[in-house]
């Protein structure tokens, strides 16, 4: 029942959510794919195993990247917490 009520709004939110995820996850996705391919390509791991190994690396890289971006913006704007 809920899906019938939400469906008209889901079509309009889809491109927005896809675009937001693309921008937010793009740097870590490209870097993680490069690192996994560089270090594990001819090691005998299957593509499925490499894809599964890429997920945690992708999440960690994106977290570090966005914490660094937010931290540098706060530092530049002087919004640091002072004790």
40 inside domain: yes
User: Total domain count for the chain?
Assistant: 1
pLDDT for 16 equals: 76
- Nearest alpha carbon to residue 26 among 58, 55, 72, 57: 58
At 64 the pLDDT is 92
Is the model's pLDDT at 74 over the cut of 80? yes
pLDDT value of position 7: 63
* 24 close to 7: Cβ distance less than 8 angstroms: no
Q: 82 pLDDT band (50/70/90 cuts)?
A: low
> Does 71 reside within a domain?
yes
Residue 83 lies in a domain: no
Q: Is residue 82 part of a domain?
A: no
Would residue 50 count as lying in a domain? yes
Residue 28, burial from CB neighbour count under 10 angstroms (0-12, 13-18, 19+):
buried
Structural domain of 30: 2-77
Tell me the pTM: 0.62
């Amino acid at each position: 029942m809920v899906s019938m009520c939400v469906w008209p709004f889901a079509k309009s939110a889809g491109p927005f959510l896809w675009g937001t995820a693309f921008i937010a996850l793009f740097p870590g996705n490209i870097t993680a794919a490069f690192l996994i391919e560089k270090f594990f390509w001819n090691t005998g791991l299957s593509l499925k195993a490499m894809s599964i190994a890429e997920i945690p690396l992708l999440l960690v890289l994106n977290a570090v990247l966005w914490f660094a971006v937010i931290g540098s913006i706060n530092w530049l704007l002087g919004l640091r917490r002072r004790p």
